[in-house]
Amino acid sequence: MYRRKGGFMLIIGLSILFIILNIIDVILTDKILLKGGLELNPIIKWLMSKVGDRWGYYKIFFITILCLSGVYYIHSDFSKLTIIILIIINIGYSYIIWNNWKESRKGK
């Protein structure tokens, strides 16, 4: 039971990290767009065409609901694979943030 609880807390922490990375992504993407950059993600590009400047709120809302749903599901069916997947996702998203940060610094 202790391992399961510790693993569950790790999953919550990784989910919170994922939400924070998405917030940073929205901020950096807005900076890039204000400098004349383009959104390359077709899903986000579609969302932007539908809701305009409010796209970031919708993205964060969706990501938060996704994480909360995932945590609820995982609580009932814990798996070490889930932790590994969340770590890989966060590492990948960290690379996206790093790339967006570099793009947002261009032209200064």
Q: Tokens 């960290």 map to which residue? A: 94
Nearest to 17 by CA among 90, 108, 103: 90
Which pLDDT band holds residue 106 (cuts at 50, 70, 90)? confident
Tokens of 69: 């749903």
pTM: 0.78
Tokens of 85: 């997947």
Nearest to 44 by CA among 35, 32, 16: 32
Distance CA 41, CA 100 (A): 12
Distance CA 102, CA 4 (A): 39
Share above pLDDT 90 across residues of the chain, in percent, rounded to a whole number: 43
Average pLDDT for 40-56: 92
Report the phi/psi class of residue 52: left, alpha or beta, with left for phi > 0 and alpha for psi in -120 to 50: left
For residue 88, the Cα-to-chain-centroid distance in whole angstroms is 12
Which pLDDT band holds residue 4 (cuts at 50, 70, 90)? low
